[in-house]
Amino acid sequence: MELKRLNKAIAETGYCSRRAADRLIEEGIVKINGKVAELGTKVSEQDVISVNDEVITKEVRNIYLAFNKPMGIECTTDESIPKNIVSYINYPERIYPIGRLDKPSEGLIFMTNDGDIVNKILRSRNNHEKEYVVVVDKVITDDFLNGMRNGVPILEQITKKCKVTKVDPRCFNIVLTQGLNRQIRRMTEHFGFEVRKLRRIRIMNVELGNLQKGEYRDLTKTEFEELNNLIGESSKTVD
């Protein structure tokens, strides 16, 4: 009989991510077969898992959405916060965002009910590409482009080298493999520029395309298969 860690079993139901599951276990509200569970416990398919005395099972299909987040929408699952992403989408099943996109920013973000894939994509060591189009308040110079490409001192570290291409006098394209807090805004501010508009147009192999603001779509079978290949080797987690 195959055993797996409790946090992974919870994540695979779509209830939450592994990290969130660990917090629930620490709070003492997770039970296995009616008994309070402990961190690191392993379970089989025959075990009954409950959170707050409510049995959790994988009752719905795994959902993987590409969503074009408008400016002003906050990437949080806290539905008490105005303009939170979960309430805005109002999807019929429980879903949550993979990663974040700043409230003033717009563009592509993934939404899912698969807690396991969240961890795989978010692991920083995977170096997954994310592409943005950015409009700034001043005319872009060669010094600015070269500085952005070669690493910028923010948050007590130097950002990784990245691809930066000028689109027009005040607009550039940037491809990052990091996800530091407000990274692009902090990088541009270092050179005396201010971001006026920031839009994410690609995450790994999935492009925003012509998806309209506020709309979402299912990832295609081809997109999902390629996504799995990209996160496969670098994101394997320990059972």
Q: Write down the catalytic residue from 102, 143, 168, 239.
A: 102
Of residues 140, 122, 132, the one with CA closest to residue 191: 140
Question: What's the pLDDT score for residue 49?
Answer: 94
Identify the architecture of domain 4-55 in CATH: Roll (3.10)
Q: Which amino acid is at 65?
A: L
Average pLDDT over residues 193-215: 97
CATH 3.10.290.10 residue ranges in the chain? 4-55
Distance, CA of 207 to CA of 112 (rounded, Å) = 17
* Structural element, H or E, at residue 112: strand 106-112
- pLDDT tens, residue by residue, 44-67: 888 999 999 999 876 667 899 999
Of residues 229, 227, 238, the one with CA closest to residue 98: 227
Pick from 88-97, 196-205, 214-223: least confident? 88-97
For 129-203, the fitting CATH number among 3.30.70.1560, 3.90.1150.10, 3.30.365.10, 3.40.50.720 is: 3.30.70.1560
CATH 3.30.70.1560 residue ranges in the chain? 129-203
- pLDDT tens, residue by residue, 15-40: 888 889 999 999 999 999 999 999 99
Q: What is the pTM of this model?
A: 0.74
The larger pLDDT score, comparing residue 180 to residue 58, is at 180
- pLDDT tens, residue by residue, 77-122: 888 899 999 999 998 888 889 988 999 999 999 999 888 888 777 7
Our answer to whether residue 47 is catalytic in this structure is no
Highest CATH level, class, for 64-124+211-232: alpha beta
